[in-house]
Amino acid sequence: MCGAKAGGPDASTIKPGETTIQGQVTRNGEPVAGYVRLLDSTEEFTAEVPTSATGQFRFYAAEGTWTVRALVPGATADRTVVARKGGLAEVAIAV
């Protein structure tokens, strides 16, 4: 199960006990707007959110291994992340 919210991560909105995957998408060190997809361990689409104006994103996900895929104009990039129950997994994606 995954819930996704648009916009930039705000640490004050993380609820204790929720498994969270968040990060930022950049190009040449600068934030880039686009979309980020969450794929399960079999590469099955689970959720998608737009990045904020500062390239940030957040997913609330189940514990496990996930692929986070950034989709921005002219580029895509994948990162694998392991989400631990009740933990925060930070992901930096350079495209």
Q: How many domains does the chain have?
A: 1
**Domain of residue 60, residue span:** 2-94
Q: What is the pLDDT of residue 18?
A: 84
Strand pairing partners for 88?
Answer: 20
Q: What is the pLDDT of residue 12?
A: 59
pTM: 0.82
The model's confidence at residue 76, banded by pLDDT at 50, 70 and 90, is very high
1-51 pLDDT, tens digit each: 444 444 445 555 666 678 999 999 999 999 999 999 999 999 999 999 999
Burial code (b: 16+ CB inside 10 Å, e: under 16) for 71-83 equals bbeeeeeebebeb
Chain centroid to Cα 59, Å, comes to: 6
Question: What's the chain's length in residues?
Answer: 95
| Residue type for position 9 | P
Find tokens 């994606």 and name the residue: 93
Q: What is the pLDDT of residue 14?
A: 62
CATH number at 87 reads 2.60.40.10
